[in-house]
Amino acid sequence: MNRILSVGTPFPAFKKTAVISIEKGKEFYELNSSEVINGSNWTVMFWWPKDFTFVCPTEIAEFNKHFGDFTDRDTTLIGASTDSEFVHVAWRRDHSDLRDLKFPMLADTSKSLAEELGILEANEKVTYRATYIIDPQGVIRWVMVNDLSVGRNVKEVLRVLDALQTDELCPCNWTKGEETIKA
């Protein structure tokens, strides 16, 4: 396995096809990292192992449920896996919890971005459940990687995003609205 890119590292540049709709003729969009990492917005990119599975749609639906919480924080949300855009759109059409997603589903079919991030599982060559928070300058500020069988906690992603956006010292279990540490 490659070394996982971590905090303080620039997020790799990418240009990938993403699914943005299930409407015929409007399904696909070429997503470029320079559109997303643009000096003004934060980015959260989360990866799942593969489409048409069991844990993945619970996470994707939960991120979608909190989409407004991310936009309220000037944060672009992107979901990704190594499945093709055609598999993504078929899954969205097939699964009721995925039909109305408000964020793009990135298709890293070449596995090049996942490989560069170091998040490919060695045997099956699917991605671990990795979540990246990227600052407006394109630097990774937080990364969390779960094993294939364990779903992540979207509220924890939001809590960490809030803490990073304070640009202050935040104690253990800090949540938005609480006092930060004055050094």
Cite the active site residues: 56
The per-residue DSSP string of 39-96 comes to SS-EEEEEE-S-SS-SSHHHHHHHHHHTHHHHHHTTEEEEEEESS-HHHHHHHHHH-G
Which of 6, 3, 2 minimizes the C-alpha distance to 139? 6
C-alpha–C-alpha distance, residues 10 and 12, integer Å: 6
Rounded alpha-carbon distances, angstroms, from residue 46 to 93, 107, 160: 21, 12, 14
Asked if residue 75 lies in contact with residue 40, where contact means CB atoms within 8 angstroms, the answer is no
